[in-house]
Structure 1
Amino acid sequence: MRPLRTFLATAVASAIFLTGCASQQSPVLPNGVTFIEQSSADSNAIHIPYQKYQLDNGLTVLLSPDSSDPLVHVDVTYHVGSAREQLGKSGFAHFFEHMMFQGSANVADEQHFKVVTEAGGTLNGTTNTDRTNYYETVPANQLEKMLWLEADRMGFLLPAVTEQAFEIQRETVKNERGQRVDNRPYGRLWERVNQAMYPQDHPYSWPVIGWLDDLDRGTVADLRQFFQRWYGPNNATLTIGGDIDPAQTLAWVNRYFGSIPAGPAVVDAAKQPATLDVDRYISMEDKVHLPLLYIGIPTVYARHEDEAALDLLAKILGGGKTSIFYKNMVENGFAVQAQVGHPCRELACELTLFAIANPSKGAELSKLEGIVRESIAEFERRGVTAEDLAKAKVQNEARTLYGLQSVSGKVSTLAYNQTFFGQPDLTEVDLQRYNNVTEADVLRVFNTYVKDKAAVIMSIVPEGQRELIAAEDNWQPQPITADMSSLGMPQQQVVITDSFDRSQVPEAGPNPVITMPSLWRQNLANGIEVIGSQSTETPTTEILIALNGGNRLLDPAQAGLAQLTAAMMAESTESLTSSEFVQELEKLGSSISISSSGYRTYVSVSSLSRNVDPTLALLQQRLWHSAFNATDFERVKGHHLQNIQQNANRPEWLAGAAWAKLTNGEDNPQGWPQAGTLATVQALTLADVKAFYQRQFSAGNASVVAVSDLPQAEIITKLAFLGQWQGEATPLPPLQPLPTIQPKIYLLDKPGAAQSVIRIGKRSNKFDATGEHFLAGLMNYPLGGAFNSRINLNLREDKGYTYGARTGFSAGPELGQFVASASVRADVTAESVQEFITEIQRYHDNGISADELAFMKASISQRDALKFETPAQKARFLGKILRYDLDDDFVQQQADIVNNVTVEQLNRLANKELKLEQMAILVVGDKASNLENLQQLGYEVIELTL
């Protein structure tokens, strides 16, 4: 794949190459900082630039200068995840991810979120089995402030770990588990499989989020000891990328982190791939519609010499529509989904094979298991072709390149590689690692790790349908018998001496100059408008064709037709079958996708710029020569119907469907799920799809966005074929009268739900970029538009009722709405509704405060620095300009509004828009446990059905 790297070397040198040798480029260093190394240029290689340093306390520091956008990304990765926990004390690493946002000695409770949000930035943290990371992306002038925040929670967290904060976050973690695991279809799959895959004392045998019993058992003392053991600077990597001055950045790093003492020594854990002697069958019943079969086979560990070949084996077996699994499972109608993967972690990897049964061919998972085994045997008979490997390798290169489009992507890659392998930039090494895999390598790892090997085989079946499991369980988890004593780390009083006052928040530098993407406009021969921007950081091209209409063109009785048509256009063309079409795309490392929304159908194209011409040739087939054959239709429609039934088990989907009906009415297409219902989709025919295609795919409905490293003239030449497209714009049917929204509670029963989904709201203004809709968003920001909003701080941080609560105004070209929403613990459903009501009423009555106004202005005025970094972000920005016919400088107009808006203006709007007597309240949850409490709130409660 040398042509790609050669092209990169000339096209994006300024973005991803660092010239010079280490001895020549290191800046003058502060005392206590040691230079280690930096990347050096190679004209035939892809590199992420970095400079590596180490503080005397062991903190590893990586700097990656990139002046292409006025932003910085800060990442602190601790080499501690759930694998560092003790048996019986699971969930501590993830618990700490939450606790480290709750303030420290010099940062007040909830101040971390406020500081970052007010700076116009974004932030988060994540935990997995092997590491925890915290990160912020902010305008470049805010870097010192971010380093102050991160250093304070590294060195000064424990004084803020109070019993009250501990209990609130314990409830928040339980809510997260309820929302992401217990209340989600198939949500317990991974924790059950890992129990069976690994011995009880293996660090991957328990879930990252923890067992509920362990969460209940944990104490503040446990948490403090866990922090002291693992969160020292010598177990961390600080990575900073973006528009930075390396010398100044190092000085700040040393100032804030240098005096923090090292923690206990940390030794890398031994690699521990699983071993199985016999197949382990396990099963569970769940609130699902379709049975799922999962097979996990233990393999190696991350960066083992066989990892790359195993990854490519997984891709060939079941990585997409051209794979053996897709052909045997999905194309032949036995499954609605089927895939093979090879996820790798620090200590162990597994080959994973799963399929969701299609009841039209019988839902017995024993039958699916037989097809899985026959598919593996077919691979053995067929072997590996040169084309198999070529496709997988070019896709790997494309993924690597797309990962370099953002500063956060580069920083995350550097941090990951340093944490686990001690080498920050392995980009070129990894490309070579995959490109060097041979057909013989793939066959060898198949024979070594997969053929005739024991596996964990899990069946998840609908409640009451155990007859569908693949086989009777032959393995059960044993009760945990573990030492529940402390970690053996005595509490230590650490005194840190500084020459400055850490309680003082650093001042931000001057606001960076925000350069809007330069754009160009040109019409094709038939009048189609094209808007574009040149982005030279990576040699890639993004093209988005938007067709006005979408779901809005439909009669309500045809709900689901727009989505079904989009799905059919991912199938055969007149000259290529579905798998042949995908195979051609895979050879190019390109993608073409079609999707439908409420008011539009989108055709999205991503390509390496060197492969744009053959990709657009395939696009022509997709746009104008789709086959719409009956065989594809029956399969696609069948899958669509199964997905609708599957969605009926998802509380959030049920809430969306019920809310659409309440606010938009059954006479309008917006009042129905965009996927349709069983009744509407069952009635749809192939003739309906063809007719909708004729209405939707017309030149008069189309506009085009292009973001590429190629210049305007070259892009227009390549898009000239679209100028041959014919057809007039399709008028929208008249909107029917909308229902009157009643101030009542509407309860949709979800028996046994672990959480309740709440929506409270009303209709509001349609979209406008500089009028009342935009102002409503500003008004709402302190109420429920930011993490540290009144709503979220109340329900999540103060009460522990939810993992997250929010309010917001959303709008399209005709309709808009205000919605307050959250998924809450089932046992506090009525209390949560009451808190929403109280907060909305208080904001209606009293409005925004002067401090909240200042916070909102600071936050929103600075966040534009983060909006236009990647080609995809630029494409979305240009697409909005086209869709709503906005002025090219509408962002500056918005900035002027933000700077000049007053408390009085926003309070008048709050008084107008936040009238509870105009709002409906929807609850999707367990009727038996919630009905009586909801009735006590003083609203009429109406039971809904869908």
Structure 2
Amino acid sequence: MHLPKHLTFLCLMAVALLSCQRQSKSKTPPQDFQVDFEKFTLDNGLTVVFHVDKSDPVVAVALTSHVGSAREKEGRTGFAHLFEHLLFLESENLGKGGLDKMSARIGGSGANGSTNRDRTNYYQTVPNDALEKMIWAEADKLGFFINTVTDQVLAKEKQVVKNEKRQSYDNAPYGHTSYVIDQNLYPKDHPYHWQVIGSLEDLQNATLADVKEFYRRWYAPNNVTLVVSGDFEPAQAKAWVEKYFAEIKKGADIPKQEKRPAVLSQTKKLYHEDNFARLPELTMAWPTIHTYHKDSYALRTLATLLTDGKKAPLNKLIVDEKQLAGRITMYQSSAELAGQLMLSIRGYEKVDLDQIHAAVEEAFARFEQEGFSDEDLARIKAVQEVNFYNSLSSVQGKGFQLAQYQIFAGDPGFISKDIQNMLAVTREDVMRVFGQYIKNKPYVATSFVPKGQAELALAGSQKASVVEEKITEGAEEKFDATAYASYPRTPSSFDRTVEPPYGKAPETRVPAVWEGKLKNGLKTLGIVDREVPLVQFNLRLQGGLLLEDSAKVGVSNLLAELLLKGTKNKTTAQLEEAIEALGASISVNAGEESITVSGRTLARNYAPTMALVQEILLEPRWDEQEFKLAKQRVESQIKQQKANPNAIAENQFRKLLYGPGHILSRNILGTEASLQAISFQDLKNYYAANLSPTLAAYQVVGAVSQPEVLASLSGLEQNWKAKEVFEPRYPAPAPPKTATVYFYDVPGAKQSVLRLGYLALPATHPDFYPAQVMNYILGGGGFASKLTQQLREGKGYTYGISSSFGGSQLAGPFQIQSGVRSNVTFESVDLIKQIMQSYGPTYSGQDLDVTKGFLVKSNARAFETMGAKLGMLHNISTYGLPVDYAKQREALVKEMTVDKIKGLAQQYVNPNRMYYLIVGDAATQLKKLEQLGFGKPVLLN
């Protein structure tokens, strides 16, 4: 989870967004688009980019090193990603806990990092009074870090990274697909041959000498870009950058890597029997071209034309006509040295992948013969452009992009060229790249099929080489994370142990909210935000799963799917085209207690977008064929969930929390049996009985005024009639009187998925927010929490763990969730139990100071994005909170005492009155769990 003559960023964004709409309807050339920035380079080679945006009192700091897995050596893979982890742990002057510990004190958000083939970045958004602290901390990581890495630190972090690999790849359905493709698409000496995460063997073999060599080679200032974006004074920030970074020594010159696209002489077909898959999946990868090459833009457009929407040939043939699969994914993946076009199709149960492959070839032939229209191309460009600008709507998003352009295009100002290249793609470009890279060209094809179903793989496929880890008790390397280590300190011209002071504290800015109610009872809430010419909205209708018949669960989810499949006067394809022609997006989603229509659009197209929302909501098409296809897709999802340990845990934990008689114990998708029982008339009945404006709220944020919003809703006000909705009452399930351990067996699981908790509080309970405050140090505060510090940082048992209170108008769960390596399942659960037992009694004044520091200071960035503002409106309309609830909560936090926290912990965190659910390998882990003292575990399957 870091000057030419320009117009201002916001004015140019407005010009560019407006030109986007013209582009979608005409051949008007795109306007020039640029972002204000200042760039300079220190004597040691550090590149620095500043972008000033004073719309919110926050600043994002991103440090990006031009090193990813492509700079690694064979046999020492995974190092770049390992460093992403190590740099958060400690540095000479930040001390133990490093940036994560400081982030909790200063109210930072999103302190995280990411690694890909070509770069590693570190980023965080903080209140602007903490900018000097961030610059000091980032400099400490770059120049005053490596001496703190000891054998014990390395041994611990190896376990964390290996847990991440198990969680994301080894224990996940289709998790080894990328490994198999890259091993066969790129030759052994190509830097993209191996995975970014590396191999378990290479990670285990990493030595301290290897780590130090890697750091000194690639983490030198002349291989790093620092971006500061947000509300700050550039002159002062420049002085701080020079103070803290300038004396870090320059490294050896870094040679430029040459472009090296993959070359295949023939098609390669491979198959793998996947322990966690329940459906066959075909993935095809064609070698293409590197990032920012002209063809990369055309290939991205080609992928969309082939798969996105009812008219797209792959979707039309495979999903609609032949009904072999429910969804298709295709995208162009461009990196610094090479690229690949990826096509992935997960078939329905027991579908032979040869059938899907033949359909792909048929769809390509149809595409070549029939082509596409100018309108299709214009719609795709409109959506691409709006998504591009939306990615720049936060200071962190701008910072990411400026760093990306600097490193891979050599100029932060490439942002203007990037959007021009995107909009300059022609019909000829698209057909040319289809012929150059796809038509009759060799590719790598992988068939991932369920265990025992190898006959579903493509004919002629060879067995793929996949390394499966064995579960062995006591196999992991031992380490002591608490061991004290002395190390030489890096000399500096001043005392870096002194943390810089805060600047002037920013004041929490609560956006102005307008509220109203239409004549038919629809509540309306809005925030005017003209930072960018976009509008986001939610229309939330109470209901969802809560209003369903328990014998036919899955109706609301199917209804949500069907509402976007055309209207009375528009087919599905015509509705898609109408939405995209506006540069808009509209989605409909069903939840446990609501159905929500959400959207985003250009401000100038807000009114016609809302006209489409009205049409979707009040004039559904009720297409029988779309109903049939939707049922197929959902049934496929249900089958997939049966093999996904995380989905199993989610569904089983819900059953424990609510009990068999409560509707919320059910999976919103339904079951295979309930799907069969649902008729088309059931959807119509649910729609007629439950969708009423009296149980709905409309929330909108963006460059649109209250009168404009009310005008856009006039049709809904007149045509959507209020009705009485029957709302069933379910008794609130009682929490367990004693703890019980439940186990769901997934043979061969490389990790155990943990869910611990009980049904606690509704969001409207006066203790709900105080309980969240109490939970911050337990498991809600990320790296500041005791659960993370002890299970991840202390023991290396897990990649991540958290605790949370979730509630709505109904009681929601307190739960602790994690994935731990399989051979420490008991040890992990037992440690969590001990942490809960001691949490209240050992809670300290220092814990409270950290909690207050974070929760109060983080309010400065609480409403930076449109999404955050929509969340605020949701809380106000759904739970009856006052408009200034953020300030009221800030006052509550300031008044919190250690004794109050201890009382809340005693009341709401009792490990002896919870459900303990483990999803893992019963053969190796079940018996040992009896030692928890909660009796013999109950085996659920």
TM over 0.5: yes
Match 1:94 to one of 81, 85, 92: 81
Alignment of 1:819-830 (within 5 A): 819-830=815-826
2:482 corresponds to which residue? none
Match 2:900 to one of 897, 902, 905: 905
SS at match of 1:150: helix
SS at match of 1:275: coil
- Overall identity of the aligned pairs, in %: 36
Normalised by the length of structure 2, the TM-score is 0.93
Confirm whether residue 13 of structure 1 aligns to residue 16 of structure 2. no
SS at match of 1:917: coil
2:845 corresponds to which residue? 850
> Structure 1 320/263 Cα, relative in aligned 2: closer, same or farther at 3 Å?
farther
Deviation at 1:581, TM superposition (A): 1.2
SS at match of 2:925: helix
SS at match of 1:753: coil
Report if the CA contact (8 A) 1:9-1:45 is conserved: no
2:337 corresponds to which residue? 347
SS at match of 2:729: coil
1:870 and 1:351 map into 2 onto residues whose CA distance is 32
Deviation at 1:779, TM superposition (A): 0.9
2:515 and 2:48 map into 1 onto residues whose CA distance is 44
Report if the CA contact (8 A) 1:292-1:357 is conserved: yes
Deviation at 1:12, TM superposition (A): 3.0
The one-letter amino acid paired with 2:347 is: A
1:926 and 1:823 map into 2 onto residues whose CA distance is 13
Report if the CA contact (8 A) 1:59-1:234 is conserved: yes
Confirm whether residue 797 of structure 1 aligns to residue 825 of structure 2. no
Q: Over residues 137-164 of structure 1, what are the superposed CA-to-partner deviations in whole Å (9 max), with x where a residue is unaligned?
A: 1000001111111111100111111000
The one-letter amino acid paired with 2:63 is: V
Match 2:750 to one of 754, 762, 768: 754
Report if the CA contact (8 A) 2:743-2:939 is conserved: yes
The more displaced of 427-436 and 118-127 is 427-436
Confirm whether residue 310 of structure 1 aligns to residue 304 of structure 2. no
SS at match of 1:392: helix
Match 1:457 to one of 437, 445, 448: 445
2:523 and 2:864 map into 1 onto residues whose CA distance is 24
1:593 and 1:305 map into 2 onto residues whose CA distance is 32
SS at match of 1:356: strand
1:298 corresponds to which residue? 287
Report if the CA contact (8 A) 2:779-2:787 is conserved: yes
Confirm whether residue 335 of structure 1 aligns to residue 325 of structure 2. yes
SS at match of 2:333: coil
The one-letter amino acid paired with 2:345 is: A
2:533 corresponds to which residue? 539
Match 1:436 to one of 419, 424, 427: 424
Report if the CA contact (8 A) 1:326-1:339 is conserved: no
Match 2:510 to one of 502, 509, 516: 516
> Structure 1 17/527 Cα, relative in aligned 2: closer, same or farther at 3 Å?
closer
> Structure 1 228/897 Cα, relative in aligned 2: closer, same or farther at 3 Å?
same
2:848 and 2:310 map into 1 onto residues whose CA distance is 51
Report if the CA contact (8 A) 1:524-1:722 is conserved: no
1:213 and 1:944 map into 2 onto residues whose CA distance is 33
SS at match of 1:277: coil
Alignment of 1:22-37 (within 5 A): none
2:616 corresponds to which residue? 622
Confirm whether residue 783 of structure 1 aligns to residue 778 of structure 2. yes
1:489 corresponds to which residue? none
Confirm whether residue 53 of structure 1 aligns to residue 40 of structure 2. yes
Report if the CA contact (8 A) 1:11-1:539 is conserved: no
Report if the CA contact (8 A) 2:92-2:489 is conserved: no
SS at match of 2:51: strand
Q: Over residues 629-665 of structure 1, what are the superposed CA-to-partner deviations in whole Å (9 max), with x where a residue is unaligned?
A: 2211111011101101101111111111111111111
Normalised by the length of structure 1, the TM-score is 0.93
Report if the CA contact (8 A) 1:259-1:497 is conserved: no
1:210 and 1:647 map into 2 onto residues whose CA distance is 27
Alignment of 1:263-662 (within 5 A): 263-286=251-274, 287-332=276-321, 333-359=323-349, 363-474=351-462, 497-662=491-656
Deviation at 1:766, TM superposition (A): 1.2
Moved over 4 A (4+): 8-11, 14-18, 474-479, 493-497
1:454 and 1:307 map into 2 onto residues whose CA distance is 18
1:820 and 1:334 map into 2 onto residues whose CA distance is 39
Deviation at 1:525, TM superposition (A): 3.0
Q: Over residues 427-452 of structure 1, what are the superposed CA-to-partner deviations in whole Å (9 max), with x where a residue is unaligned?
A: 32122212222211211111111111
The one-letter amino acid paired with 2:300 is: D
| Alignment RMSD | 2.0
The one-letter amino acid paired with 1:210 is: G
2:933 and 2:604 map into 1 onto residues whose CA distance is 65
SS at match of 1:604: strand
Deviation at 1:720, TM superposition (A): 1.6
Report if the CA contact (8 A) 2:405-2:415 is conserved: no
The more displaced of 165-174 and 562-571 is 562-571
1:889 corresponds to which residue? 884
Report if the CA contact (8 A) 1:701-1:729 is conserved: no
1:866 corresponds to which residue? 861
Match 2:714 to one of 713, 720, 727: 720
1:22 corresponds to which residue? none
Report if the CA contact (8 A) 2:742-2:940 is conserved: no
2:203 corresponds to which residue? 215
Confirm whether residue 104 of structure 1 aligns to residue 91 of structure 2. yes
Report if the CA contact (8 A) 2:9-2:34 is conserved: no
Report if the CA contact (8 A) 2:280-2:347 is conserved: yes
1:856 and 1:582 map into 2 onto residues whose CA distance is 47
Match 2:142 to one of 135, 138, 154: 154
Q: Over residues 222-252 of structure 1, what are the superposed CA-to-partner deviations in whole Å (9 max), with x where a residue is unaligned?
A: 0110001000010000000000100000000
SS at match of 2:863: coil
SS at match of 1:936: helix
The more displaced of 443-452 and 195-204 is 443-452
1:71 and 1:183 map into 2 onto residues whose CA distance is 38
> Structure 1 135/10 Cα, relative in aligned 2: closer, same or farther at 3 Å?
closer
1:369 and 1:452 map into 2 onto residues whose CA distance is 13
Report if the CA contact (8 A) 1:11-1:538 is conserved: no
Structure 2: 5+ residue stretches without partners: 1-5, 17-28, 468-486
SS at match of 2:431: helix
Number of aligned positions between the proteins: 899
The one-letter amino acid paired with 2:807 is: A
2:733 and 2:465 map into 1 onto residues whose CA distance is 54
1:484 corresponds to which residue? none
2:755 and 2:692 map into 1 onto residues whose CA distance is 37
1:813 corresponds to which residue? 809
Deviation at 1:16, TM superposition (A): 8.4
The one-letter amino acid paired with 1:806 is: S
Report if the CA contact (8 A) 1:743-1:918 is conserved: yes
SS at match of 1:259: coil
Deviation at 1:478, TM superposition (A): 12
Q: Over residues 465-492 of structure 1, what are the superposed CA-to-partner deviations in whole Å (9 max), with x where a residue is unaligned?
A: 000001233586699xxxxxxxxxxxxx
The one-letter amino acid paired with 1:784 is: G
SS at match of 1:860: helix
The more displaced of 579-588 and 119-128 is 579-588
1:695 corresponds to which residue? 689
